[in-house]
Amino acid sequence: MTGRAAFSARKFATSNAGNRGSGSDLRNPTSSEGSKISENKFTNTATELTRNSKYVVSKLAASPLALFGSNTTDIKGQIDEHTGHGLLASDELIHIWKYDSPDSIPNTIQIPVIPPNNGFAPLAVLVSPAAGSSEPGLVSINSHTGYIRFYENVGEASSFGLLHHFKGIEFQLSLYDHESIQIAENVEPAGIILTTSTGRVILLSLRNSAGKPFISSSEIVHRQTGFFSTSLASYKHIVSINAAAILGHGERVMTTITRGGDFQVWSCARDGQSKQVYQNDLLPTLVDHVKDLYPAAVNSLEILDMTILPNFKDQDAFLVLTSFSNGSNETFYLLFTIRKDIDQLLIVSAYKLNTFTSPYNKQPRLYVPAPGTTGFILFDNSVVLSELVQKLDHTSSLKKRWEDIVTFKSDIGFIGAGPEDQVITDGSVSKLSSLNVIAARTGILKIDRLQTVEEPDENPIEEGSYLKSHVEQAIFYGGNTQNPIKFDFSDEINIDSQRIENDLLQVSEEILNSKSSYLPPRLSSLQDHLDLRKRNLEKLLRYTAFNFNDIIDDRVKFQLIASLEKATAAKNFHQVVSSYQFNEKLSNIINKSFSTGFDELLLHHLDQINSVVSDILKQTSKVTGLEIIAAEIAAGVYYSVLEAEKEYRYDLFNLDLSKSGLVEPWYTTDSIAVHIDEAFTKLIPVSKDASDTDTSKRLITLTEILFYNYQQKISWLEAQSPKTKAIKDTLSNDQNIYQARSGVWTKSLILVGAKTEALAIAETYNDLKSLVEISEDDRENTKDEELNHVLLRFDHYFHKFGYEFAQTLYNYYISSGKYQVLLLSFQQYAEFLQRFFTENDHGEISWIRDILDGDFAKASSVLYDVSQTNDESQGKRHLQLSIAKLGALAAIGDEGRNNHNDVLLDDIQQQLDYVEVQNIAITQLSEFMRSDSDPSAQIDSISREVLKPFYKDQQFTIIEDSFKRALGRLLSNKSLSVSELVDIFTLLSTNDDNKANHFYALKLLHLSNLSNDEKLLSEKLVWKRALLSDDWEHILNLTHKTDDFIKEKAEETVLFVTLEKLFQDKLYLPNAGYSVSLPNIDELLKDVDDQALLSRFKYIGGNEVFKLHQEFSHENEVIQNLRALGIEKWIKALIGTSHERSGALEVVNYNTLTIESNE
């Protein structure tokens, strides 16, 4: 018994169990070239539950009624390939039937359990038929009492049992107290191997040396427990018995292995002469092999099952299923491939299952049917299929293995199972390698392994095929409540997000464009084929949401939804077009729009559906008489998008407007909104009146489509970052179109009697402008009870949209001049109006509300701020400041004097002073004004008349332009800035009436809120222009005149008048940190930096600054000449005279030309 063939599994001759299979003509898309598997041999009595390129799961037709009883928890079952029968054992009856029967309720043999088994099912084993019989035999074993019955022919046993109480052959096996039988395994012709709870192994022989039925027993392994103990250590329990080679003369090899790895090989003889031929402690070898990779296996690795590999004829090879705990909620399962080498067991490979990691409740079972390419591991309600090694060398551990799992619903309980070997007849596979599983209240589930012809080791396993396969199975086989398979992914399966995203998109695209192997190429009805794809894409979305919602990117979800939308749109498009197939105009347009043919587009090119529909709508808009057809096409195609978006985007995936896809929504491309809008516009004249309900319904649908289309496109464009110029331009264009057209759409609905729908659409899409305009029109034109309804509508909008609606309403009131309604209506929402006025520049109105509310200080402050706008007319500004002053006085009257009110009143008075000063300038120019004159010509004319002669020279073009600009604003009655007023007063030609102008300019600077740097620059200009206002060169050369004459001439100058008034008005005293300085030639001649000039002369550009410097240099040349003539002593003299006449107490320092306090 030392030969290598000693452990080889026996190849039983097996009858063809019928043409079992799928009932589908779906071709295996990846079967090996040259394979002679003819799948049409397996297609009659099974209901296909699922399929992929590797396996088929089906439910066999034959299901005995006992399988559907109320209590199946204590039933035991067995599928026996060698007899072709299935077995169910309860505590009362044993049911036996041909499991490949085509009958849904098969002819079932029932054998009573006698005596009754006290509430638990006996161990039952089917054995080979007796000579000349086709019916199997049966061994029934009471595991608790040891009572055994052997029926040589179950057919006869059933008949005799019911009619004559035929008992078969009885035998009583002696058991120790509390000992029970745990395993019963057929090792014919030697008999039945039994294991017990005390560790005993017993051979039960069923025939004598003459082959007659006769029961005897022999103990192979003695009791493993102590005399006073019946409890066997867990690691000593035998977990697997395997029948191996038949040696002849009633002798057979069998193997046993315990949970703790005690591996034994026995030669069992029918005559009871059994002997051990091999023993090995396997577990340490297994642990040592994986301890580095899986440290947790060191202390918890256990053996669950073992089977002999049938595909190695000249070597003894085994497959061992083990497990170990990897934490409290995870169990790893390892498959070890073992080969025997003389007296050693060598590990060929170790493989961890990837698809199942849950702790088991019921001990998993391992099956390897011939040809041994695939292992089936049966868990509580799952079956894992794993590719097995095909060479017993080190390269086997390097090859990537295929693995998959079939998971059944949680209420599916497995009662028993049995494998079937592949059978080849006349060179063709007549029966596939498979596993049959008995499922309570379900039936017999058969898993056929496809592609069982041996493949080259170098064939790669297609990456992603596992996930894609399960997705496809769920789509095409899921959804039927009668299907026992659970297609949803379990949490224990680790899913790579990028891979599943790619697989989902691939499945989606294949369904959309009819590329999926699971779809028929087409159906007799193209409409039905479109509907089939639509339904499958709907399944895909629901499956994705349930299984991968937290795994995949939102952008992938948008792409998946888009596929469904395109399929739905194409289905509706085909339906509308088909209903008008005899319209010649439409037919001509459609024929021109399809380069690939109508059917080809709808079968294989649905990605192009939008561009095709867009082109058709564009063409129909050019043809009279197609208005209704165009509207129906647009409505049919794109309203389905809205419905799909609501159901799947918003409800199923919760993808709100804040989320967007990677690419622009397909239904907004190809300028489709423009063409739908054209269809909308051309449909309006078709409507006879408001009673034309058909046209009204079409317009309502198109309106909602247009709103949604623009909303989605704008939302997507806004979400893009960074935004290219093209995106910015498109966004701006679409926003403008939407704002311009939305009101047209809603108002058009009102014309056809659909005001309610117009309001509903506007409310849905937040078209607040339309809500405001429609509702305000109703408010103005309704009375009594109807008006109350309108006001309630306003209340609803205020509550729903809040400030956003209020702001839209208030802007509408302002733009339409309804100030009284704005200020007095809807006072229950006064906080919205207050916020509106606070956030927006509407002070010219809001102050009235402040007055009405009694907030005089706020009204005064608001009016003061409004008056600071330089573009206001002088009259309006004076009125605003006057009312502001009254408000400030009223506030003081109510609140008393405080810093805020006092400062505000002072500021208002200062601005009134500015107005007064500007009025002085207007008075000085009034004689030159002509009301009927051309403004530009009038400015030139007045400028020639009034500009100081010194600056009329062409060398002063910048200064002259600044004067003209200020003059133009003054003539237009606009409020001038301080700098502009300074230019007006200092550049006007001097006469007896305006010699105080430079003083006015200095006083403006003294009162203004300009920065000190700005004031100092303008002050320098005032003193320079004052010097240049008179002919000082002439005065300084009057040496032949008397002193009194010269003094009189000097005191008539602008410089003296300005100094005199400066002292009189005490402008040398600080105001807000600034005081007017005395004219100092050194300071006047200093250069000014460019930035200061650009800040002061706001209307000039950088290229004009150089020219302005030249003009200042020319001024400085003249002043330098005056200095040479002694102007400085005259300036000091005039300062002294004006200071003395004013009676000012401050002291003038004539060395520094500063004024010092005398304290």
- At which of 928, 955, 977 does a domain end? 928
pLDDT at 69 over 90: no
Max avg pLDDT among 305-314, 453-462, 946-955, 1042-1051? 305-314
User: Which residue, 97, 59, 57, is CA-closest to 78?
Assistant: 97
**Local confidence band at 228 (pLDDT 50, 70, 90 cut-offs):** low
Q: Which helix (H) or strand (E) holds 319?
A: strand 317-325
d(CA 5, CA 657): 71
- Give the Cα separation of 187 and 203 in Å (integer): 9
The tens digit of pLDDT for each residue in 847-894 reads 888 888 888 888 888 888 887 776 667 777 778 888 878 887 887 877
- 452 and 512 assigned to the same domain: no
Neighbours of 1123 (CB within 10 A): 16
**722 and 797 assigned to the same domain:** no
Please give the residue that has the higher pLDDT: either 596 or 1096.
1096
Confidence of residue 932 (pLDDT cuts 50, 70, 90): low
* pLDDT above 90 coverage of the chain, percent: 67
Residue 173: predicted pLDDT:
96
Pairing state between β 434-439 and 85-89: unpaired
> Considering the domain boundaries, does residue 848 fall inside one?
yes
Instruction: Please give the Cα distance from 358 to 379 (Å, whole number).
Output: 9
Give, as one character, the DSSP assignment of residue 188: T
Mutual angle of helices 526-548 and 554-579, in 10-degree steps: 160
User: Is the CA virtual torsion 1079, 1083, 1085, 1087 positive or negative?
Assistant: negative
Q: Domain with 182 in it: what CATH number? A: 2.130.10.10
CB 106 within 8 Å of CB 64: yes
**Tokens 């049409």 sit on residue:** 40
Comparing 104-108, 413-417, 585-589, 935-939, the range with the smallest average pLDDT is 935-939
Q: Are residues 658 and 526 in the same domain?
A: yes
Contacts of 86 (CB under 8 A, 6+ apart): 62, 64, 77, 78, 79, 80, 96, 97, 98, 99, 418, 436, 438, 444
The domain that contains 881 carries what CATH number?
Answer: 1.20.58
The span from the CA of 101 to the CA of 103, in Å, is 5
Tell me, yes or no, whether 814 and 721 share the same domain: no
DSSP assignment string, 139-180: EEE-TTT-EEEEES-HHHHHHHHHHT----EEEE----TT--
Pick from 256, 258, 268: nearest CA to 307: 256
* Segment 361-375 mean pLDDT: 96
Q: What three-state secondary structure class fits 187? A: coil
d(CA 422, CA 451): 11
Phi then psi for residue 223, to 5 deg, are -55, 135
Which one is predicted more confidently, 400 or 618? Answer: 618
The answer to whether the predicted template modeling score (pTM) of the entire model surpasses 0.85 is: no
Neighbours of 646 (CB within 10 A): 12
Look-up of token digits 């590999």:
309
| 28, pLDDT greater than 80 | no
Q: What is the DSSP letter of 214?
A: E
What is the Cα–Cα distance from 429 to 619, expressed in whole angstroms?
Answer: 59
789 and 643 housed in the same domain: no
Short-list 711, 702, 631, 612, CA closest to 665: 711
Q: What is the mean pLDDT of residues 571-583?
A: 93
* Overall average pLDDT of the 420-440 stretch: 94
Radius of gyration of the chain (CA): 52
- 1033 touches 1064 (CB < 8 A): no
Sorted by sequence, the CB contacts under 8 Å of residue 812 that are 6+ apart come out as: 769, 772, 773, 776, 818
The reply to whether 234 and 359 lie within a common domain is: yes
Taking only the tens place, the pLDDT of each residue in 386-416 is 999 988 887 666 677 899 999 999 999 999 9
Q: How far is CA 454 from each of CA 315, 733, 929, rounded to the nearest angstrom? A: 18, 64, 109
pLDDT band at 598 (very low <50, low <70, confident <90, very high): confident
Task: Tell me, yes or no, whether 55 lies in a domain.
Answer: no
Query: Would you give the end-to-end CA distance of the chain in angstroms?
Result: 134
The mean pLDDT value of the chain amounts to 88
Residue 910 has pLDDT above 70, yes or no: yes
Q: Which residues contact 237 (CB under 8 A, 6 or more apart)?
A: 182, 199, 258, 259
Query: 690 and 570, same structural domain?
Result: yes
Residue type, 318: F
pLDDT at residue 165, as a whole number: 46
- Tens of pLDDT, residue by residue over 757-792, are 999 999 999 999 999 999 999 999 998 889 999 999
Instruction: Using pLDDT thresholds of 50, 70 and 90, give the confidence band for residue 159.
Output: low
C-alpha closest to that of 441 among 56, 46, 44, 77: 77
Residue 405's DSSP bridge partners are: 384
34-43, 297-306, 394-403: which is most confident: 297-306
- Tell me if 477 is assigned to some domain: no
Q: Is 425 helix (H, G, I), strand (E, B) or coil?
A: strand
Closest to 275 in 3D by CA, of 264, 286, 261:
264
Is cis: bond before 371, omega within 30 of 0? Answer: yes
Give the tokens for residue 332: 């790893």
Is residue 692 assigned to a domain?
yes
Q: In what order do the strands lie in the sheet with 108-112?
A: 76-80, 85-89, 93-98, 108-112
> Are 659 and 715 part of one and the same domain?
yes
CA 150/CA 153 separation, integer angstroms: 9
Q: Are 209 and 287 contained in the same domain?
A: yes
Residue 45 within any structural domain of the chain: no
* 409 plus 505 within the same structural domain: no
The sign of the torsion formed by the CA atoms of 407, 409, 414, 419 equals negative
The closest alpha carbon to 342, from 380, 315, 324, belongs to: 315
Considering the domain architecture, whether residues 409 and 342 belong to the same structural domain is answered as yes
* Residue 48: φ, ψ to 5°: -70, 125
Joined together, the tokens standing for residue 636 give: 């049919």
- Write out the two tokens for 913: 């002073």
* 36: in domain: no
Q: Is the peptide bond before 116 cis (omega within 30 degrees of 0)?
A: no
Tokens 């034109």 locate to 781
Contact of 653 with 661, CB cutoff 8 Å: no
Where does a domain end: 889, 913, 928? Answer: 928
Q: Is the pLDDT of residue 1040 over 90?
A: no
Question: Is the pLDDT confidence value at 548 over 60?
Answer: yes
Q: Is the pLDDT score of 456 beyond 50?
A: no
| The total number of residues written for the chain in this structure | 1159
The pLDDT-based confidence of 464 (bands split at 50, 70, 90) is low
Asked whether residue 667 falls in the same domain as residue 715, the answer is yes
Three-state secondary structure call for residue 661: coil
Is 579 a domain residue? yes
1146 within a domain of the structure (yes/no): yes
Report the C-alpha dihedral over residues 94, 99, 104, 107, rounded to 10 degrees.
-50
On the question of pLDDT at 460 being above 70, the answer is no
Q: What is the pLDDT of residues 732-766, one digit of tens each?
A: 999 999 999 999 999 999 999 999 999 999 999 99
Cα separation, 566 vs 670, whole angstroms: 14
Above 90 in pLDDT, residue 937? no
Check if the beta carbon of residue 586 is closer than 8 Å to that of residue 620.
Answer: yes
Edge-to-edge strand list for the sheet holding 382-387: 365-367, 374-378, 382-387, 403-407
Distance CA 220, CA 199 (A): 10
Tokens of 566: 């395109």
Cα dihedral angle (800, 804, 805, 807), rounded to 10 degrees?
A: 150
Number of domains the chain contains: 5
Per-residue DSSP letter, 455: P
Of 194, 312, 186, 196, the C-alpha closest to 243 is 186
The Cα–Cα gap between 25 and 30 comes to: 15
pLDDT digits (tens, 9 = 90+) for 473-495: 999 999 888 999 999 988 777 78
Among 753, 787, 814, which residue terminates a domain? 753
What pLDDT is recorded for position 591? 84
CA dist., res. 582 & res. 509, Å (int): 33
Give the range of the structural domain holding residue 254, as residue numbers without chain letter: 60-461
Q: Is 682 exposed, middle or buried (0-12, 13-18, 19+ CB in 10 A)?
A: middle
Sequence-ordered list of residues with C-beta below 8 angstroms from that of 49, at least 6 positions apart, any chain: 57, 58, 59, 445, 477, 483, 484, 485
Q: According to the model, what pLDDT value does residue 690 have?
A: 55
For residues 167 and 425, the model is more confident at: 425
Please count the CA atoms within 13 angstroms of the CA of 771 that sit on its side-chain side: 25
Over 50: is that where the pLDDT of 38 sits? Answer: no
What are the φ and ψ backbone dihedral angles of 198, each rounded to 5 degrees?
-100, 5
Task: Give pLDDT tens digits for 78-128.
Answer: 999 999 999 999 999 999 999 999 999 999 999 999 887 778 899 999 999
**Which of 1082, 1074, 1092, 1073 has the alpha carbon at shortest distance from 1131?**
1082
